[in-house]
Chain A
């Protein structure tokens, strides 16, 4: 029971046969993102992508269902951008933070690791976590008024 409430954490790792700079640029340049961002059956048109790769910048996409035209907007904000190593963004509507780490494997390949959690890493200290929890509480209270 407690386990299932903690599963809204996701870790996924993939090795790409391309230099780290290239893989990183694919993640922050709309011209590239449009080629792979939508999962199967869903596209992300170039016009629907806003990427401002700096802390506080926007990371917004609207994915479109190829069949029904249904739109899936996502409004993220970058928390941390360290080119070409790390991208952290948060999606306030879900309270979910995604951290992607790009590791140069030294042989022209790059390992990308995506970690998603409801708790941003920089809030990992107990004091900070308390502050974060109270902001989550405020957020929950706000949601309750909708």
Chain B
């Protein structure tokens, strides 16, 4: 979680860009090599303006870049940005693993409060009915 490679906004844009099947297909095509808008439009039953719209979303997310050559402006995949999104998933997996480790510890503590820590701790409220009162042994 700390110091993400991509900022939250960048991730938002990346995931939003990845959420569309046409855009994912465009990225898959670009993984095979740079392509112009016309080449990208070919396999889809979409107008050039519709493809351009998708490309704009991809470009804004940083997932692709476009050459400045005015006439063809071939599109180029920027794999590092995609890696950033994948990193985020890996990080999220780690967060959940650590969360579960701590939940495990917390549950153990609820079951068997460490000696001397039962008093004065912020009350967590009895989680189970009944046994908690019994558990307070003199």
Contacts and interface: CB of A to CB of B under 8 A. Distances in A.
A39 interface: yes
Chain B interface SS verdict (over half): helix
A19 B110 CA distance: 12
Nearest to B77: A1
B112 to A, nearest CB: 11
A17 B104 CA distance: 8
B120 interface: no
Contacts, number: 132
A40 to B, nearest CB: 5
Interface in A1-32: 1-2, 4-8, 10, 12, 14, 16-19, 21-23, 25-26, 29, 31-32
B106 A26 contact: yes
B89 A8 contact: yes
B104 A14 contact: yes
Interface residues of A, number: 53
Given A10-B92, A16-B103, A36-B102, A136 B19 contact: yes
30 contacts: A1-B28, A2-B24, A5-B82, A7-B86, A8-B88, A10-B89, A10-B96, A16-B100, A16-B104, A16-B107, A17-B107, A17-B111, A18-B110, A19-B128, A23-B107, A26-B107, A26-B127, A31-B123, A32-B124, A32-B127, A35-B102, A36-B99, A36-B103, A36-B105, A39-B1, A39-B95, A70-B2, A94-B15, A139-B16, A143-B13
Interface of B: 1-2, 8-9, 11-13, 15-21, 24, 27-28, 31, 56-57, 60, 82, 85-86, 88-89, 92-100, 102-108, 110-111, 122-125, 127-128
